[in-house]
Amino acid sequence: MPAHPFERAVDHTRPHGSHRYDVFAPKLGRSVALFGRTALDAWTVIESDPAITSYCERPLVVPKAMPKRVVDFWVQTKEGGQFWILLRPSEMDEDMAPDLSSEFRSWATSGRYTVKLIRPDSLVVNKNLLDNWGWIIRDLSAFGRFVDRKFLDAVRAAISSPTDLARLESDFLERDPILVRVAAFSLIHRGQALCRSLGDARICPSTMIEAV
């Protein structure tokens, strides 16, 4: 049996006018196809949140909804699972309230599932944060497999007090500096370290990392 109820997208049809992004998802260990910038931003938020332990893109087609509507994400946390619906401008009324078809609304409010309706403007978050997490995710995707548990533990011990990336790299001169950064990023990704400046400035040698 699958570890989670949703593990693969059920529909890869590209919505009209949307751009397709093919990305590697570190939490899933596989590639993911996303359609539109809003879906890409939502995915970045999902990958950056250590409270979300797993997820699936486009896991379900809303039953009987006309026109066809695909659920954007299923996410799993310790509290349970949620379906995320990224509302389109066409699904909002003039007061920016959800304006859904009767079938869609009936499904979303049936109580059988926890459904989170996400307004088009709610994912407009700090650009520095999204850009930095984009960088972190790309590095994890490319190099994460080269960082083992023993090295992660050593890096976590080294940041028991707040340490900048330059100092951290100097503490592990025998290691490729890229892998030192990736180890730090992996700890942040797992919720085992913090970088309080991710929303303020681009990651650089003076960026401070601390264990939690």
Judge whether 15 lies within some domain: no
Domain count, the chain: 2
In whole angstroms, give the CA distance from residue 72 to residue 40.
11
DSSP of 72-91: -EEEEETTEEEEEEE--GGG
Judge whether 180 lies within some domain: yes
Which residues of 10-146 form beta strands (DSSP E)?
20-25, 30-35, 52-57, 73-77, 80-86, 115-118
pLDDT tens string for the chain (212 positions)?
345 678 899 998 888 888 999 999 999 999 999 999 999 999 999 999 999 999 999 999 988 878 888 999 999 998 888 999 998 887 777 767 777 777 877 877 787 778 888 887 787 678 899 999 999 999 999 999 999 999 999 999 999 999 999 999 999 999 999 999 999 999 999 999 999 999 999 999 999 999 99
In whole angstroms, give the CA distance from residue 34 to residue 57.
8
- Domain ends where: 69, 100, 118? 118
CATH number at residue 84: 3.40.1350.10
Q: Verify that 44 and 88 share a domain, yes or no.
A: yes
DSSP state of 201: S
DSSP state of 192: S
Calculate ∠ Cα 200-204-206, nearest 5°.
90
- Domain ends where: 66, 85, 118? 118
Q: Verify that 24 and 113 share a domain, yes or no.
A: yes
Q: How much is the pLDDT for 1? A: 38
Q: Verify that 112 and 132 share a domain, yes or no.
A: no
Nearest to 115 by CA among 156, 152, 165, 72: 72
Phi/psi zone of residue 47: left (φ > 0), alpha (ψ -120 to 50 degrees), beta?
alpha
8-29 per-position pLDDT tens digit: 999 988 888 889 999 999 999 9
Q: Which residues pair with 43 in a beta bridge?
A: none
Q: ω into residue 177 within 30 of 0, thus cis?
A: no
Q: Verify that 27 and 113 share a domain, yes or no.
A: yes
Domain that holds residue 77: 20-118
- Domain ends where: 97, 118, 139? 118
Long-range CB contact pairs, 71-74, < 8 A, 24+ = 72/39, 72/42, 72/118, 73/42, 73/43, 73/46, 74/5, 74/6
